């Protein structure tokens, strides 16, 4: 490995461990976030030439440091990707990781097991001519191909329907990162396959370039995946969950129970009237109820609510959360009066949301905070009486349903 790449790996390892330290000391940090950063930090630490060689010599096994590093990077990357994926996508990623890990270990056992580390003072590079080592590397690169495809596919699907704002920008960065990982992993896989077919091993210079690309991608993953943590924007998960449950309780206390959908009716969910104990259930039930009440909200209502939020000096994300809360007030009033709009209903999901449960909780908590501040009732009433609705006095007003 060249001096420049080894230096970059050292700097990156230090940054990763610093991020672990910051995350562990921040009360609002997610354990999963700190976990994947810590695993990546351990993986990149073993890629430092001097430390890797020391481990190989102490164990008497060639390339053991590279194998362990590869397994740690697979695990850390899978944990990072799972924080951005829906629950149903995670088994596919876990299966790809398990398969890649098995191939990496099997290749290393076949190609590297024999011989003490001290017989190859040049380190790992001379072993790039061994078939077993190349098979192990192929499993490593193919995992990142699969992970990048799954992540890009899931993120792109969500991105199409996501309103402009911080979540959309973050998701765009994730898609770009997945594309870069896919290009790097495909390049590595193709080079390894060519080396296996032709014989003679993988060119050490090309492997060094791939290692440099890996360091850049890990740094990009840290910036994208841990950005809110490093910028100090972590929020207390317990507080977020409490706010989501309060929004759930408010919605279900003020709207009739819909036809059962298999997700529960809300009023009988959870314990002690505090909302569902399972946060995933709470998120799904809130979204289900929002879809129901949007029948009583017009697209013009949502647009006007966003403009009112901006006039209050809110950010783009804050204005959309404010608009969602206002539309809920309007929709609840309309649903109670059973007076649906005649025109096309608004799409409240376009105001905000996310692909993952964690990000969705953050968004719904923001909507709750906007509603709890009290301005949304007046805004909803203003929209009610300033549009061209027929006989607005015949319908329940937002004030009627808020108390």
Report whether pLDDT(388) > 60: no
Collapsing DSSP states into helix, strand and coil, what is residue 8?
A: helix
- Give the CATH number, domain containing residue 139: 1.20.1070
**Domain-terminating residue out of 202, 230, 258:** 230
Count: domains in the chain: 2
- φ, ψ of residue 379 to 5 degrees: the values are -65, -40
Same domain, yes or no: 224 and 297: no
Same domain, yes or no: 47 and 77: yes
346 compared with 184, residue with greater pLDDT: 184
Among the listed residues 71, 3, 70, 75, the one whose alpha carbon sits nearest the alpha carbon of residue 214: 70
Same domain, yes or no: 255 and 192: no
Quote the CA–CA distance of 215 and 12 in Å, as a whole number.
7
pLDDT of residue 334: 76
pLDDT, averaged across the chain: 77
How confident is the model over 233-291, as pLDDT tens digits?
555 677 888 889 999 998 888 776 654 444 344 443 443 344 555 788 888 888 888 88
For residues 172-176, average pLDDT: 86
pLDDT of residue 264: 40
Collapsing DSSP states into helix, strand and coil, what is residue 163?
A: coil
How confident is the model over 368-385, as pLDDT tens digits?
988 887 678 888 888 866
How confident is the model over 95-126, as pLDDT tens digits?
888 888 888 888 888 777 655 544 455 667 77
**Domain-terminating residue out of 170, 198, 230:** 230
Question: Within 10 Å of residue 71's Cβ, how many Cβ atoms?
Answer: 20
Report whether pLDDT(389) > 50: no
Same domain, yes or no: 268 and 389: yes
Same domain, yes or no: 192 and 290: no
Same domain, yes or no: 180 and 251: no
Quote the CA–CA distance of 316 and 300 in Å, as a whole number.
18
335 compared with 77, residue with greater pLDDT: 77
Same domain, yes or no: 280 and 242: yes
Long-range CB pairs of 156-159 (<8 Å, 24+ gap) are 157/355, 158/354, 158/355
**Domain-terminating residue out of 215, 230, 245:** 230
Quote the CA–CA distance of 292 and 285 in Å, as a whole number.
11
CA 14, 232, 34, 178 dihedral sign is negative
Question: Within 10 Å of residue 180's Cβ, how many Cβ atoms?
Answer: 16
Same domain, yes or no: 203 and 271: no
The pTM of the whole model exceeds 0.75: no
Same domain, yes or no: 277 and 386: yes
Same domain, yes or no: 195 and 317: no
> The domain containing residue 347 runs over which residues?
237-402
Tokens of 307: 């403009």
Same domain, yes or no: 301 and 218: no
Report whether pLDDT(224) > 90: no
Quote the CA–CA distance of 174 and 171 in Å, as a whole number.
5
pLDDT of residue 227: 61
Same domain, yes or no: 176 and 32: yes
């Amino acid at each position: 490995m060249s001096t420049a790449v080894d230096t970059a790996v050292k700097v990156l390892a230090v940054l990763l461990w610093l991020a672990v330290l910051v995350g562990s000391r921040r009360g609002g940090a997610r354990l999963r976030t700190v976990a994947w950063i810590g695993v990546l930090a351990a993986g990149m630490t073993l890629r430092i030439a001097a430390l890797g060689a020391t481990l190989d010599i102490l164990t008497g096994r060639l390339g053991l440091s590279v194998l362990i590093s590869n397994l740690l990077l697979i695990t850390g990357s899978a944990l990072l990707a799972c924080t951005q994926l829906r629950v149903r996508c995670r088994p596919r990623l876990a299966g790809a990781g398990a398969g890649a890990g098995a191939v990496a270990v099997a290749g290393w056992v076949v190609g590297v097991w024999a011989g003490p580390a001290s017989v190859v003072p040049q380190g790992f590079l001379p072993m790039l001519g061994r078939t077993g080592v190349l098979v192990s590397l192929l499993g490593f690169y193919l995992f990142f191909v699969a992970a990048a495809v799954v992540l890009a596919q899931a993120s792109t699907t969500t991105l199409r329907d996501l309103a402009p704002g911080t979540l959309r920008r973050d998701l765009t960065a994730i898609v770009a990162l997945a594309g870069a990982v896919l290009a790097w992993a495909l390049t590595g896989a193709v080079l390894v396959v060519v080396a296996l077919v032709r014989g003679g091993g993988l060119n050490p210079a090309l492997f060094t370039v791939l290692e440099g690309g890996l360091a850049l991608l890990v740094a990009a993953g840290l910036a994208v995946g841990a950005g809110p943590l490093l910028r100090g924007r972590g929020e207390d998960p317990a507080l977020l969950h409490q706010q989501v449950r309060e929004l759930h309780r408010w919605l279900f206390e003020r709207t009739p129970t819909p036809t059962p959908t298999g997700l529960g009716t809300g009023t009988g969910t959870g314990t002690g009237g505090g909302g569902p104990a399972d946060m995933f259930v709470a998120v799904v039930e809130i979204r289900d109820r929002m879809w129901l009440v949007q029948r009583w909200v017009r697209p013009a209502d949502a647009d006007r609510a966003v403009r009112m939020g901006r006039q209050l000096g809110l950010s783009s994300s804050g204005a959309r959360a404010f608009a969602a809360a206002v539309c809920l007030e309007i929709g609840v009033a309309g649903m109670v009066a059973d007076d649906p709009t005649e025109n096309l209903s608004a799409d409240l999901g376009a105001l905000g949301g996310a692909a993952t449960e964690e990000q969705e909780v953050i968004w719904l908590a923001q909507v709750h905070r906007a509603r709890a501040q009290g301005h949304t009732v007046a805004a909803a009433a203003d929209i009610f009486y300033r549009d061209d609705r027929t006989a607005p006095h015949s319908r329940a007003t937002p004030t009627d349903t808020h108390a």
